[in-house]
Each structure stands twice: as structure tokens, then as C-alpha cells.
Amino acid sequence: MNEMKIVNQALTHLTEHTGLTGEWLPLKNETDGVLHLLLKNKKIRFTAEVKRELREYHLPKILEMKHNNDDLIVVAERIFPMLKAKLREYEIAYLDGAGNIFINTEDNFIWLDGQKPIEVEKPITNRAFTKTGLKTVFYLLLHEDAINLPYRTLAINTNVALGNIKNIITGLKEAGYILQINDKEMQLLNKKALLDRWITGYKETLKPTIHLGNFRFYNNSHFVDWKNLPIRPSETLWGGEPAAEIITNYLNPEILTIYTTENKAELIPQWKLIPDPNGNIRFYQKFWIDHEFDKLPYTPYLLTYADLILTNDPRCIETAEMIYNQYLKDEFEQY
């Protein structure tokens, strides 16, 4: 992501609509840079966090940043109306690529909205974020050292065709997620950014294709006894909310997410289920092969975290942050 391009584009449109001008100073620390806006002949400093497209799962980190930086501003090519409303609710300044802006400080209040989102030219699809690419990236996120495995081994471990592996690795390099240390050794870079991008791709590209259907119990009272259902590790695993409850003992599930390789037609009578498009039991095809994690009755922490974040449910997002901070943060924020 080119932060300078995103900020300059937003400032250009802001100036066109309001006459306000600004200056951008990139930084190499926890924030992307500093944005100075010239308001009433006075230069106002903001700590800036830059995104290509602001997503719901970015909010917990932004709220944490707001706690540490009261002068925070979010700059993004696109911010959807619902997220703008949430940023305003928490009095977090924002500027989007169309020049829409919100600032509420002790001395200044600016709120411009209604400018149409800019049309961004769609980039050529990166093979790392296709359906098969996302499966491989998931494996690499679980096993950092696997980036240096032979392509044939990666193909076997991910159940992805050998011919796709090279394109996926090349895609990760082009996107800035791999550092070539020498002729034989590579290292994953920007792992938190890669995780965020994987979650977006998982939601939009992979997860819809592995959805097997929604169901409910024939007798709804059986829902409270979900822990007694016959889960078979490596074949059928809890995901999302039930996985989080087992891991944290904090979240009371309202939706039961299950990943399975078993025959759905056999599970339905065994669990006494009825198909229901709005049902609170949701089955997905298990898309990974991993003996290290499949000994457990729930999905890997990374996938549990992703499923919780994608609910857009505050209680799930809170639990997702608990799991991230305890099990993932040290690994994904080390470099």
C-alpha cells in the first residue's frame, strides 16, 4: 500500500472542495505518519493511520490508537458510511479519498460528507489472494518457516496444485510480504498486514465457496448442550463463537460454526438438524490439512480470530482481541 499516494489524493480532493491544505510526513513507528492541516492560518497536527479501505476489523486497533493518541486521524481511500458513523461516535477524525472529512477538536469542528467515493482502478488479481492462494497463505501464517519448504512439499501440505505454488509465492513477494534473504532463504514480512489482508480475502473469496449450509436443531432446547455434540478432531471442528468459548471461557455462543470433512448428509440426522437459511448452526468445508492443529476440537487461533472479527458483533470482536493478544500478537507484530 502506498500511504503517500492515498494521503495526497485525499488532500487534493479536500482542497478542491474546501480550500483547506495539508502536509504529510511519513514515519517509521507504530503510526504511518503525521498529517498537518492548515486551519484558520494555524497548522494543526494529527497522528495518521492510513488504510486503502477501512474495515470493521480495523476498529479495535484504531480505538486503542485513539486511547494513546488523542490527535489521531484515519485517512483511507474509502470509508463506508457505517464506519464513518462509528468514527464520529468515538470522536475519531477521518479523511477519505473523495475529500470527505470529520474533525472535532477543542478549537475546530469540520464535517464534510456527500462527496462521491473515488473510482479506484482495479488491480490485476494477485495469485496469493485467490481461493487457492488464500489456502496456501493460511498455511504459511500458521507455519512461518514453511515459506522455505520445497514447492512440492507446500503443494502436498496445502492440497494446492504444484503449478500454483510458485505463482502464490511470487504474488506474496510482489505485495511486499516476503523478504529474500539469500538464494535459498526467505522470510515473511509485515505479518500483521498480511493477516489483515488474508481476513479480507477469506471473507470475500474463500469463505463463501466453502459454506455447506445453515441449520437449526429439531428441538431448539438442544442448543444449550452444544458441547456434548460428537465432534471428531481432524474431521469436524468448532470454529468462531464455540471455539472462542472453549479457548477463553468468556463468550456464550449464539451462532455455532462448524468446519468439517465429514459427509453432511450423515451429520444432519446424527445431530438432529433441520435445514434453515437463517439457522444458527453453520457448516463449512474444512479447507486445511494440519496434523499439529487437528488434534484439538476447535480451529487454529488464527481462524477463530478471523471468524470472530468478521461477525461485526461487539462481543465477538472483544473476544477476538483477547485471543489475538494472548496467542497471536507476539508472533504477528514482531516485524
pLDDT tens sequence across 11-41: 989 998 888 888 888 876 666 788 999 887 7
Q: Is the pLDDT of residue 219 over 60?
A: yes
| pLDDT for res 118 | 63
| Interaxial angle between packed helices 59-68 and 81-89, expressed in degrees from 0 to 180 and rounded to the nearest 10 | 30
Q: How confident is the model at residue 258 (pLDDT cuts 50, 70, 90)?
A: very high
**pLDDT value at residue 122:** 47
% of residues, the chain, pLDDT over 90:
53
Interior/surface letters 52-71, b for 16+ CB within 10 angstroms, e for the rest: bbbbbbbbbebeebbeeeee
> Which residues fall within 8 angstroms of residue 121, CB to CB, at 6 or more apart?
none
pLDDT score at 213: 92
pLDDT at 323: 95
Whether residue 155 is predicted with pLDDT greater than 70 in this model: the reply is yes
pLDDT given at position 240: 96
Whole-number pLDDT of residue 251: 92
Domain 3-112 has CATH 3.40.50: no
**Domains 3-112 and 127-189 are alike in CATH topology:** no
Confidence (pLDDT) at 33: 85
Q: Is the dihedral of CA 169, 173, 178, 181 positive or negative?
A: positive
Q: Looking at residue 158, what is its pLDDT? A: 93
Tell me: the pLDDT tens digits for 280-321?
A: 999 999 999 887 787 889 999 999 999 999 998 889 999 999
What does each C-alpha distance from 36 to 48, 67, 87 come to in angstroms?
A: 10, 20, 20
CA–CA gap between residue 88 and residue 107 (Å, rounded): 16
| Helix 191-201 vs helix 131-142: crossing angle, to nearest 10 | 140
Position 28 scores a pLDDT of 65
Give me the pLDDT at residue 64, please.
Answer: 86
Pairing relation of β-strands 109-112 and 101-104?
Answer: antiparallel
3-state secondary structure the chain: CCHHHHHHHHHHHHHHHHCCEEEEEECCCCCCEEEEEEECCEEEEEEEEEEEECCHHHHHHHHHHHHHCCCEEEEEEECCHHHHHHHHHCCCEEEECCCCEEEECCCCEEEECCCCCCCCCCCCCCHHHCHHHHHHHHHHHHCHHHHHCCHHHHHHHHCCCHHHHHHHHHHHHHCCCEEECCCCCEEECCHHHHHHHHHHHHHHHHHHHHEEEEEEECCHHHHHHHHHCCCCCCCEEEEHHHHHHHHHCCCCCCCEEEEECCCHHHHHHHHCEEECCCCCEEEEECCCCCCCCCCCCECCHHHHHHHHHCCCCHHHHHHHHHHHHHHHHHHHCCC
127-189 placed in CATH 3.30.410: no
Residues 326-332 have a mean pLDDT of: 91
Q: What is the mean pLDDT of residues 67-82?
A: 90
pLDDT at 106: 83
**pLDDT tops 80 at residue 233:** no
What was the pLDDT predicted at 53? 87
- pLDDT score, position 279: 92
The answer to pTM > 0.85 is no
The residue that leads in pLDDT, 171 or 334, is: 171
Query: Is the model's pLDDT at 125 over the cut of 70?
Result: no
Predicted confidence at residue 247, as pLDDT, reads: 96
Q: For residues 247 and 41, give the distance between their C-alpha atoms in angstroms, rounded to a whole number.
A: 54
Distance of alpha carbon 208 from alpha carbon 195, whole angstroms: 18
Average pLDDT rounded to a whole number, residues 229-252: 91
Q: How far apart are CA 208 and CA 310, in angstroms?
A: 13
pLDDT band at 5 (very low <50, low <70, confident <90, very high): confident
Task: Kindly indicate the confidence band of residue 43, based on its pLDDT and cuts at 50, 70 and 90.
Answer: confident
∠ CA 136-211-55, nearest 5°, is 70
Task: Give 287's Cβ-side CA count (13 Å radius).
Answer: 22
pLDDT over threshold 80, residue 124: no
According to the model, what pLDDT value does residue 120 have?
52
Residue 121 has pLDDT above 80, yes or no: no
How much is the mean pLDDT over the chain?
Answer: 88
The closest of 186, 189, 194, 74 to 134, measured between CA atoms, is 194
pLDDT at residue 250, as a whole number: 92
Domain ranges of the chain: 3-112, 127-189, 208-332
